Each structure stands twice: as C-alpha cells, then as structure tokens.
Amino acid sequence: MLRLLLLRHAKAEPAGGKLDDHERPLAARGRTDARRMGELMQERGYVPSLVLCSTALRTRQTWEGISFAMGKKKPKAQFDRDLYLAVWPSLLTMVKALPPKAECVLLIGHNPGIEQLAFAMALKPKTTAERARLENLAAKYPTAALAVLDLPEGGWDGAGPGNFRLQEFVKPKDVPGYDGDDD
C-alpha cells in the first residue's frame, strides 16, 4: 500500500508589502505549527520516504519545522518550482510520476491545489468515519493541515480521483496544546 501525505504550508506572514509572494516567510505561529505537525507525524508513524516541496519560502520553512521534529529519520526533500501554487490536476500528474519505491510521500504545497487534490483523491468514502473526515476536509483546509491518503491497490501511476482512502485529516487545532486560530 502506498501513502500520500498532503500538507498545506504553515501560517505565513500576510501578503502585500515589499515582499514577493514566493518569498513570504512563516509567521511565528506558522513556525510553531510546523514543529507540532512534525511531532504529530513522527508520533503517528507518518514518516515519508520522499518529500516534494514547493520552492516558496513558506513551504521550505514548513519543511524545516517538520523535519526538525523528525530528528534523524528525516528524508531528503526535493524542491520543485512547479509545486508553487500548482492546480490539483498538475499535482496529480506529479503524484502519478512518483517512483515506485517511494512508499510514503509528503507533498508540501499551497491552497487551493492541495485541498482540491486531497478532496478529489478521497472522493468516494467507503465508511461513515471516512465520510466524516472528508466532510471535515471539505469544510476547511487551514494552514498546516495534513491529509493522510492511502492507495490500497496499484502503483502511483494508477493514482486518480476517488481511488485513495482518507485515513486521517488533522488540523493544527486538533493537536493537543494548540492555542491559535483556525485559518
């Protein structure tokens, strides 16, 4: 079974001002949330064998926070400009091209692409619990939220809408000790 972890970057500084959008850094809360989500991923065994990350500063800093929490088990990340603000069909093309040996892949990107990809991949829930997770995902995919999707059959080249199982959807506010808002 293959696992796809879809993470929206953590909370960034507001857009506008003199900084180009691609160079917006994480806000203080974003740095905290990234580490918390990394700790949660470590605790739950969501340790990727491959990381694909947008080249935007906020996504790279999100990976830094997550990887810090993973300690020595962190994989090397590949940074790809094509992930920056990519639409979900483009993200799906990247997923379909993943190497077969990558059993667990973390994709760190941006909304709306990440949210739309997660929703499309989990579109056919089989259980009540899975349906509830999908409704939660559809309601809001805040910064630093993580969707855990399993592909029960076949390889990455067969990835497509509705053939993943949504195992978990975690928002930073769901992590014990969270004290921020949900955005």
SS3 128: helix
Report CA-CA distances (Å) from 62 to 2, 89, 127. 23, 23, 32
Cβ atoms of 111 and 84 closer than 8 Å: no
Q: What is the CATH number of domain 2-13+22-174?
A: 3.40.50.1240
Task: Give me the pLDDT at residue 19, please.
Answer: 81
Rounded Cα distance, 121 and 100, in Å: 18
Over residues 87-102, the mean pLDDT reads 96
Report CA-CA distances (Å) from 157 to 33, 92, 95, 154, 160. 32, 10, 8, 8, 9
Over residues 96-113, the mean pLDDT reads 96
Tell me which of 70-84, 143-157, 160-174 is least confident: 70-84
Q: Kindly report, residue by residue over 109-165, the tens digit of the pLDDT.
A: 999 999 999 999 998 888 999 999 999 999 999 999 999 999 999 999 999 999 999
What are the domain boundaries of the chain? 2-13+22-174
CA 64 to chain centre: 14
User: Is the confidence at residue 17, as pLDDT, over 80?
Assistant: no
Cβ atoms of 110 and 86 closer than 8 Å: yes
